[in-house]
Amino acid sequence: MLKKSLLTSLSLLLFCSTLGAQQPEADTRNPTAGDRRPETTVNQAPSRLLTLTYTDAVILGLVEGITEYLPISSTGHLILTNELLGLNQNTPLTPDSASAPSSPNPEPFTLKEAADAYAIIIQAGAIAAVVLLYWKRLLGMAAGLLGKDPEGLRLARNIIISFIPAVILGLLLDDLIEFYLFGPVPVIIALIAGGILMLAVEGWRKKQSISTEQGGSTKELDLPDLSVKQALTIGLLQCVAMWPGTSRSMMTIVGGYVVGLKPARAAEYSFLLGLITLSAAAAYKTLKSGEMMMQVLDPGPVLLGILIAFISAALAIKWLVAYLTRHGLALFAIYRFFLAALAALFLL
């Protein structure tokens, strides 16, 4: 029943996104929104447009919140959803001169660039969900850094070690990744490859679990018990998820499996590592593109999308931990194949 529910709900979400894309040339959802592709003349730049509607924001918020911590790639889903909603166009967007930034962008900011930036910044909602659900772990880590909680200090050390590879490679490769990989074809490839990897790792984990049970070992590895090498292994695997469609959650959960964590613990480590990784990515993108993005996108839908992402992410986290404990990753691999086929059908 859970399998059918997940597949049905996500399929309906994508179908709704498709309906949102099939709008007439003049956007009837908001009479002031105008065409997503405004006509311009040589001497007249397009004025500020409502390029992100409230309907778009609700859809993107749901997609981000539901998929961020599930091993099915939130970035890949957002890229595909942007395609379906018509937010992938290279339409130049020019802010009102009255609100133009002090250091204007030397090149026109496009609708696709604004949507790609929002796909990162909307993660703030998912970040807040982890803070709400795992505040005790976070307080323990803070106390550890102040020398008051040895277990919290070890967990904080592990999270920081796992984060270091991503911050180094992320800063080096950010522009290249956005230029070459933020598109439907790379996402479809990553969805298929990730599904194959998940099935292989899930089969390996079950064999390891049987061997452990037969050997009489009952002690469960907890997050503060990870060694430096194990934490670094998870961090390196997380870097693979810089390819959109791969899924940061998938790679960190797989990394947790590899180093010996049970599914629920691997998911929890993924959430905590995601907190610092996503915060860094969202902060970097906000500093880099946030000012210009807010000049060309209306703040109401932007904030609504983040709020929707927060609520849906909190619900998705609670469900994922319970599901992984009982069933593992196989369902998500099947879903990735299904989504890749659906995306190829509609987009290619």
Domain count across the chain: 1
pLDDT, tens digit, 9 for 90 and up, residues 230-244:
999 999 999 999 999
The pLDDT value given to residue 28? 37
Residue 16 placed within a domain: no
Evaluate whether residue 97 is within a structural domain: no
Question: Residue 40 falls within a domain, yes or no?
Answer: no
In tens, the pLDDT along 133-150 reads: 999 999 999 999 999 999
Distance CA 277, CA 264 (A): 20
Four-residue CA torsion sign, 82, 304, 323, 139: positive
Domain, as residue range, for 296: 53-90+108-347
**Is the pLDDT at 16 greater than 50, yes or no?**
no
pLDDT in tens, 58-97: 999 999 999 999 999 888 899 889 988 988 888 777 654 3
Over 60: is that where the pLDDT of 272 sits?
yes
Query: CB–CB of 121/305 below 8 Å?
Result: no
pLDDT beyond 50 at 204? yes
**E strands within the chain?**
92-93, 109-110
Reported confidence tier of residue 256, pLDDT bands at 50, 70, 90: very high
- Do the domain assignments include residue 35? no
Task: Flag whether 61 is in a domain.
Answer: yes
* 47 part of a folded domain: no
**41 domain-assigned:** no
* Residue 315 domain-assigned (yes or no): yes
Cα separation values, 243 from 31, 176, 193, 198, 330, Å: 37, 11, 11, 16, 21
